[in-house]
Amino acid sequence: MSRPVRTSTSSKAAEAKSNTHFLKNRVEELEAEVTSLKKRLDDLRKAKNTTVHKKQKEYVTTSTIEHKSGDDLKVSDLQRRMDDLNLQHTKEMEDLKRSHRDSLQKLKKAPSSPTPCNHEEEIAALKRKNKDLQSENEELKLFNEELKTENSAMREKFEELFAELSIKEAQWCEKEEQLNLKMKLQWGEKYREWMEVTEKKIADLQAANDLLGAHLNMGAVRMTLKCPTRSYMKNREDR
């Protein structure tokens, strides 16, 4: 993309404005320097006028005169520098005024209407690019709509599967509870039957044991009745 061509009028105006700004800054710097030198010159003059003379006449010697002459030299040097700065300041002010007048004359002589720029090719390229961007934007919009439709379908399918899974999970939980209850009932019934059988066996064994004990006792009594002497001797041996 090419940069727009500046007209001669705007270029000259910018140059004049830049020169004016530079010269104004230079004038301000010179004025500040002149002010500083004036202040320094006033300080030296005050110091010169307020010099304390010693009372003793013998101390008013050549050294004092030389000191005063040194101050006079400093004042003269500062005065000379101030004069030079004033001349320089006056010259630069004249240059500034002359440059400003020249700039105004150039602006007056310049044509009022800017020279037309030939941007047909750039405008045509921008139009083509804008058209391409619009076409690409339309394609992106269509693709976005397709994605939205697909997303909605997937969301509906997900909700349907989630609802189906929730129902199946509830059914599985119910069946599991029923199976656990059934197993508990079956185990309880089997345990009850087993206990009944076990108790019956214990009762039968107890009855058989009692019957056997009764038979053994009856046999022992009979043997005692048949052989009393043997029983008597056996009892004595046991003692």
User: pLDDT tens track of the chain, all 239 residues?
Assistant: 444 444 455 665 566 667 667 777 777 777 777 777 777 777 666 665 555 444 444 444 444 444 445 556 666 776 777 777 777 777 777 777 777 777 777 766 765 555 555 678 888 888 888 888 888 888 888 988 998 899 999 999 999 999 999 999 999 999 999 998 888 888 888 888 899 999 989 988 998 888 888 888 877 666 666 655 555 555 555 55
CA-based nearest residue to 34, from 71, 87, 70: 87
User: Can you read off the two tokens belonging to residue 119?
Assistant: 């941007």
Residues in Cβ contact with 54 at an 8 Å cutoff, skipping those fewer than 6 apart: 60
Please give the single-letter amino acid code of residue 104. Answer: L
Q: What whole-number distance in Å separates Cα of residue 68 and Cα of residue 15? A: 52
Angle, vertex CA 228, rays to CA 227 and CA 234, nearest 5: 95
Collapsed DSSP state (helix, strand, coil) of residue 114: coil
Count Cα neighbours of 93 within 13 Å in the Cβ-side half-sphere: 11
Q: Would you list the domain boundaries of the chain?
A: 8-111
């619009």: which residue's tokens? 134
User: Would the pTM count as exceeding 0.75?
Assistant: no
Dihedral sign for Cα 147, 150, 156, 158, please.
Answer: negative
